[in-house]
Copies of this chain bind each other. A is one copy, B any other.
Amino acid sequence: MATQLAEACPIVEVLDHVAGKWSIGIIVAAANGPVRFTELERTVEGISRRMLTLNLRKLERDGLLVRTVYPTVPPKVEYTLTDMARELYASLSGLLGWAERHRGEIACARAVYDAAS
């Protein structure tokens, strides 16, 4: 195992990278095997090409995504989750499940709150 540099990377910063709207979308989209750029562009609802690129680079830099370039014409690039990211996906699934189960309740709470104000 490598040096780890644990102090260099506070948890909040890690979460900030990983828990963002776009990051979650990308990780979920890549959970079932390698995905291509255009595929992500279509799958991750509402993301722009720019944001997709930026987030892919960020995730790759953090060691969550591996970028594989096939030198064909036209070019083909695949993004694959690393083991670390797969483990993350398990945690994210919990979060997603919670959101799914409670979205109705949340919508109600909002309606009540807004009505009271």
Closest residue on chain B to residue A95 by CB atoms: B91
Give the distance in Å from the alpha carbon of A99 to the alpha carbon of B94 in the complex. 15
Chain B CB within 10 Å, residue with most, of A18, A97, A112: A18
Number of interface residues of A (CB under 8 A): 51
Is the beta-carbon distance between B61 and A103 smaller than 8 angstroms?
no
- CB within 8 Å for A9 and B103 given contacts A15-B95, A98-B88: yes
A6 — nearest CB in chain B belongs to which residue? B104
| Residues of chain B contacted by A112 (CB below 8 angstroms) | 63
Contact across chains for A45 and B12 when beta carbons are under 8 A apart: yes
Which of these binds chain B: A19-27, A33-41, A48-56? A19-27
- Knowing A24-B19, A95-B91, say if A108 contacts B2 (CB, 8 Å): yes
Q: Interface code A1-20, partner B: CB below 8 Å = 1, 0 otherwise?
A: 01111101111101110111
Binary flags per residue of A80-108, CB closer than 8 Å to B gives 1, else 0: 00001001101110111111101111111
Q: Can you list 15 A-B pairs with a CB-CB distance of less than 8 A?
A: A5-B107, A6-B104, A9-B110, A12-B21, A14-B103, A15-B21, A15-B96, A19-B20, A63-B106, A63-B108, A63-B113, A84-B102, A87-B102, A94-B94, A95-B95
